[in-house]
């Protein structure tokens, strides 16, 4: 079985050299029961015990920074390319060489130098009102800046890393000048001041506060499987996978890398390789209604209902690297 340990306990253990060679210390920003079951299965198959510490990404990065070379962490799991890039900038990861991972994880979903590997995917989609927006009336991210949508766009704040990554991808696709104009247009079209999370944007469309919203695909999937109130709201909106006639819908990831100070590097690599197996991919992705990164792995039924779509194959390392540039651009546009 795996176990959750406090950071202080792990540090103490490392200082007195009692860390077992048959364990792996996981710092994770994911918090799902299905992950726990997977970790137990990993231990059953390999004999390697999983010691798990869960917290928000920024808190874990701050711990890793404080612990420095004495950190007991072996792997770091987080969500969104912007956070992976932040970890990279802080020197958290070390490059690893694994033929299995290179064969399993598509090239555009892993770091070019092997610092991290994608584990799951999510699309940042447009949600339109079924009643007030017709089929094919909005088809791409660029449409959101069209004056036609003035006072009709719902989207969360510029401080949200998912939006920063989306803008980072637009910078790469359209150039900085065009991306800045897009941000200006989106701000001009906002139905209200940005507030709440992705599900709040979807609920606001259902309530008539705006006509189109931006959200990650898994939030809509959660609503389809959620309370009666959420199901009712979800029934009033339609998913639009953007840019199907050109680059494809923006796709972001959750990712994992081996920590530079890892005391159990071999086990860490073994752990990551396990998470890219077909069985693990199916469970790990379904736990948050996400898409597996490994091709051919079955996706959750709720996502099958949304249909197939063309993905933007831009590497998250690229748009994650545009994070700060995107944030400054959004702030200059008055996106709060």
Per-residue pLDDT tens listing for the chain (336 residues): 445 555 444 544 444 333 446 999 999 999 888 889 999 999 999 999 999 999 999 999 999 999 999 999 999 999 999 999 999 999 999 999 999 999 999 999 999 999 999 999 999 999 999 999 999 999 999 999 999 999 999 999 999 999 999 999 999 999 999 999 999 999 999 999 999 999 999 999 999 999 999 999 999 999 999 999 999 999 999 999 999 999 999 999 999 999 999 999 999 999 999 999 999 999 999 999 999 999 999 999 999 999 999 999 999 999 999 999 999 999 999 999
CATH number at residue 239: 3.40.190.10
Residue 108 resides in a domain: yes
321 and 204 fall within a common domain: yes
Are 75 and 12 found together in one domain? yes
For strands 251-258 and 212-216, give the pairing. Answer: unpaired
Within a domain: 295: yes
Whether residue 267 sits in one domain with residue 221: no
Domain extent, residue 148, equals 124-249+312-332
Residue 307 lies in a domain: no
Residues 152 and 288 in one domain: no
Provide the whole-model pTM.
Answer: 0.92
Considering the domain architecture, whether residues 116 and 172 belong to the same structural domain is answered as: no
| CB-based contacts of 17, cutoff 8 Å, min separation 6 | none
Are residue 163 and residue 242 in the same domain, yes or no? yes
In a shared domain, residues 86 and 233: no
Q: What is the pLDDT of residue 11?
A: 47
Q: What is the 3-state secondary structure (H, E, C) of 38-96?
A: HHHHHHHHHCCEEEEEECCHHHHHHHHHHHHHHCCCCEEEEECHHHHHHHHHCCCECCC
Residue 305 lies in a domain: no
Residues 101 and 215 in one domain: no
Does 270 share its domain with 130?
A: no
Quote the pLDDT of residue 34: 85
Contacts 24+ apart (CB under 8 A), 244-247: 244/139, 244/309, 244/310, 245/139, 245/140, 246/140, 247/173, 247/312, 247/314
Phi-psi region of 65 (alpha: psi -120 to 50; beta: other; left: phi over 0): alpha
Does residue 128 fall inside a structural domain? yes
Q: Is 282 in the same domain as 133?
A: no
Q: What angle do CA 280, 283, 284 make, to 5 degrees?
A: 80
Is 99 inside a domain boundary? yes
Q: Are residues 261 and 280 in the same domain?
A: yes
**Count of domains forming the chain:** 2
| Residue 110 and residue 134 in one domain | no
């Amino acid at each position: 079985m795996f176990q959750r340990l406090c950071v202080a306990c792990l540090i103490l253990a490392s200082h007195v050299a009692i860390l077992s060679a048959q364990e792996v210390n996981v710092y994770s920003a994911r918090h799902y029961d299905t992950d726990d079951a997977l970790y137990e299965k990993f231990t059953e198959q390999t004999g390697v015990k999983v010691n798990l510490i869960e917290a928000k990404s920024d808190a874990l990065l701050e711990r890793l920074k404080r612990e420095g070379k004495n950190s007991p962490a072996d792997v770091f799991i987080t969500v969104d390319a912007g956070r992976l890039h932040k970890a990279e900038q802080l020197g958290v990861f070390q490059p690893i060489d694994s033929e299995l991972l290179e064969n399993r994880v598509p090239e555009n979903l892993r770091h070019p130098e092997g610092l991290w590997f994608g584990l799951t995917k999510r699309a940042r989609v447009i949600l339109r009102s079924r009643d007030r927006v017709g089929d094919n009336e909005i088809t791409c991210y660029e449409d959101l800046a069209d004056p036609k949508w003035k006072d009709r766009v719902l989207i969360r704040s510029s401080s949200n890393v998912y939006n920063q990554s989306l803008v980072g991808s637009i910078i790469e696709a359209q150039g900085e000048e065009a991306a800045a104009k897009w941000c200006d247009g989106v701000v001009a079209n906002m139905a209200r001041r940005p507030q709440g999370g992705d599900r709040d944007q979807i609920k606001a469309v259902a309530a008539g506060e705006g006509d189109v919203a931006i959200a990650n695909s898994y939030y809509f999937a959660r609503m389809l499987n959620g309370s009666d109130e959420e199901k009712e709201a979800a029934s009033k909106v339609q998913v639009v996978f953007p840019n199907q006639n050109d680059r494809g819908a923006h796709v972001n990831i959750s990712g994992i890398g081996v920590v530079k100070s890892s005391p159990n590097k071999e086990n860490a690599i073994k752990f990551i390789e396990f998470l890219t197996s077909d069985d693990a991919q199916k469970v790990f992705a379904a736990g948050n209604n996400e898409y597996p990164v490994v091709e051919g792995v079955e996706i959750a039924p709720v996502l099958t209902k949304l249909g197939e779509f063309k993905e933007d194959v831009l590497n998250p390392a690229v748009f994650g690297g545009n994070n700060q540039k995107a944030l400054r651009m959004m702030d200059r546009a008055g996106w709060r």
